[in-house]
Amino acid sequence: MGNTIWMPQLSTAQCSGCGECIANCPTGALGWIQGKAALLYPERCSYCATCESTCPTGAIALPYVVLKAKGE
Ligand code: SF4
Ligand code: SF4
């Protein structure tokens, strides 16, 4: 788990191609693949969740890590 990098997951099937996530991503991590939004530059993603909250179709989900209490 320690080496896991969590990234937004985009569902191509649910994407309507509205472009809201691409327009609102503060780091420019998103772009187009065949008319659907995609995480083109994952290294730029700051995991801010703006895309998730912006998407009107619920096509984007961020897996959230459960943090362990200190000492566990
Ligand atoms: S989580 Fe933030 S930085 Fe990452 S793709 Fe979504 S809007 Fe862009
Ligand atoms: S905001 Fe959602 S529906 Fe719109 S382009 Fe992005 S992933 Fe697709």
Q: Ligand 1 centre and the CA of 4: distance in Å?
A: 17
Domains of the chain: 9-57 (3.30.70.20)
Q: Which ligand places an atom closest to the C-alpha of 51?
A: 1
Q: Ligand 1 centre and the CA of 68: distance in Å?
A: 24
Q: Give yes or no for residue 54 CB within 6 A of ligand 2.
A: yes
| Predicted pLDDT at 29 | 97
Percentage of the chain with pLDDT > 70?
A: 92
- Burial of residue 72 (CB within 10 Å: 0-12, 13-18, 19+) is exposed
pLDDT tens digits, 7-52: 999 999 999 999 999 999 999 999 999 999 999 999 999 999 999 9
Identify the H or E element spanning 21: helix 20-24
